[in-house]
Structure 1
């Protein structure tokens, strides 16, 4: 991450902004009548157009990546496209609540991957904090969760989307020290958009016949949850890691019910309040433990330096 981001913004402030932006995505997706793959395609490709003017292209031309690293970039892009396809499609079959709860399983998949790929140390305390946050998310969504054949299809798609985004985040962390975040984002957003374009064409979906309100949704999906959400996630991968980024996503249901209360006037029940508090406590303890680990590592490195 650029030094300007380090000095001006604390990583957890950026994480909060990104999760808040992501919380808006399900509302926008539910408001759109376009096929999920088309909405996802424009979401990613419009983001590429927005970010491209801010990339210093001359240094990019001199960038040297190995064949394995290029393969990892392609993997990340494909799995990002699959995440949007599966998760956005799941909202046509199941409730936002059910889909978001399954999405909060993401940190557990990332945690397992981080252990094997990066030997990331995980303590019992950290696992318990993550479990408490997940339990809070389940409480928030409990009253809106559905049990039906259609809902199970949606939940299955949401699970596939969750696994796909976990792979995407792990690949991003692996490449975060090799490629600047803005360049990496353009590459994977572009590849993900092409995956969704290919699927949309194969399904025979129209790519242009949408009214002005749909194009407005596409633009908002690009600006809010993608530029201020997924792009910021990529900025953070090199500093706080994929597991901590994914834990932040657990806060999405909490922010979603707060937004629904403030913007839509929805009633917040006692179970949602209890679930929200449990989620926030679990996340707060997780970030506190992670910060303690980071301070310990820093102190150890300082003591090991020669005078």
Structure 2
């Protein structure tokens, strides 16, 4: 086993921790959802630009039409995910929104099976269902099945489908495309889509207070470059299904950060849900030694 392959689990762990900051940072910003998402992707692509120009620009010449189409689709899916998720945070709590966004195994299992013919074991299905039940428990303290909160919950669930599609597209292209090239192109496509969305909605691109610019940069550096980029790197060796299972840790981290930073309380049911997630993922790791990209 190569060193890069052995480091994939560590990359996923770091990625999960950093993406757990995302919802809290969005809540702290005064910008509109589309604008926050745009600056997140714009700054991410801008930071990657010198690395792309220095060592990877020649790789673009060898991209096939199919690669361009898949990469563009991945960027569009990522943009749709951010738009819907950030909008959902305007209506519902960090815990509830994050819980629904991390329901990815439901979509990942189906996508991996139909697109990549990955074998799904009964142990994987059981551990996923138990973990999902734990995710639901985390949000029970805040979840409101009525009015605007319900609208926010629906947006978060739809955004979950989009981010799973984004990961599945990445699993296809990352087999032969470098991480820097893939992420730069995806983030650039995503930023372009988000800019069009912002202009159509006539949302303000500025000016902002210094605090907001710090938040935009933090979103680019933490949950994007140290979060999504690490997932994109790991997906070359680890299945989208495994990554989606690991991302179920995000509600735990997000709830903890929301408690200390936003002073959102954590209920008994949320604590119980976190324990269920940890136990189910432990079971998953013990029973599924490794799911490789087929």
Bin the TM-score by the shorter chain: over 0.9
Shift of residue 53, structure 1, vs aligned partner:
2.4
Pairing 1:222-301 to 2, within 5 Å after superposition: 222-260=220-258, 268-291=266-289
Shift of residue 59, structure 1, vs aligned partner:
4.7
Contact 1:102 1:162 (8 Å CA) reproduced:
yes
Contact 2:95 2:255 (8 Å CA) reproduced:
no
Deviation digits for residues 125-165 of structure 1 (CA, Å, limit 9, x no counterpart): 10000111111111121111112221121122112211111
Deviation digits for residues 253-276 of structure 1 (CA, Å, limit 9, x no counterpart): 112233345666765443233211
Partner of 1:96: 94
Deviation digits for residues 26-78 of structure 1 (CA, Å, limit 9, x no counterpart): 11101111011111111011011112222364553244222222111110011
Q: Which one of 2, 8, 20 corresponds to residue 23 of structure 1? A: 20
- 1:132 counterpart = 2:138: no
Q: Which one of 34, 37, 45 corresponds to residue 37 of structure 1? A: 34
Deviation digits for residues 98-141 of structure 1 (CA, Å, limit 9, x no counterpart): 21121122121011111111111101110000111111111121
Partner of 1:12: 9
CA 1:90–1:260 in structure 2 vs 1: closer, same or farther (change >3 Å)?
closer
Partner of 1:121: 119
CA 1:75–1:47 in structure 2 vs 1: closer, same or farther (change >3 Å)?
same
Partner of 2:218: 220
CA 1:267–1:38 in structure 2 vs 1: closer, same or farther (change >3 Å)?
closer
- 1:78 counterpart = 2:98: no
Which whole-Å CA distance do the structure 2 matches of 1:196 and 1:128 have between them?
Answer: 37
Contact 1:251 1:279 (8 Å CA) reproduced:
yes
TM-score (norm 2): 0.92
Q: Which one of 189, 195, 198 corresponds to residue 196 of structure 2? A: 198
Q: Which one of 171, 187, 190 corresponds to residue 189 of structure 1? A: 187
Deviation digits for residues 206-262 of structure 1 (CA, Å, limit 9, x no counterpart): 212211111111011111111111111100111112111111111111122333456
Shift of residue 205, structure 1, vs aligned partner:
1.4
Which whole-Å CA distance do the structure 2 matches of 1:105 and 1:235 have between them?
Answer: 22
Contact 1:41 1:196 (8 Å CA) reproduced:
yes
Partner of 1:304: none
Which ranges in structure 1 are unaligned for 5 or more consecutive residues? 298-307
Pairing 1:132-211 to 2, within 5 Å after superposition: 132-211=130-209
Which whole-Å CA distance do the structure 1 matches of 2:62 and 2:158 have between them?
Answer: 33
Which whole-Å CA distance do the structure 2 matches of 1:59 and 1:293 have between them?
Answer: 29
Which whole-Å CA distance do the structure 1 matches of 2:207 and 2:166 have between them?
Answer: 31
Bigger CA radius of gyration: 1
Which whole-Å CA distance do the structure 2 matches of 1:4 and 1:59 have between them?
Answer: 22
Which whole-Å CA distance do the structure 1 matches of 2:288 and 2:38 have between them?
Answer: 35
Which ranges in structure 2 are unaligned for 5 or more consecutive residues? none
TM-score (norm 1): 0.88
Number of aligned positions between the proteins? 291
Partner of 1:305: none
SS in 2 for 1:55: helix
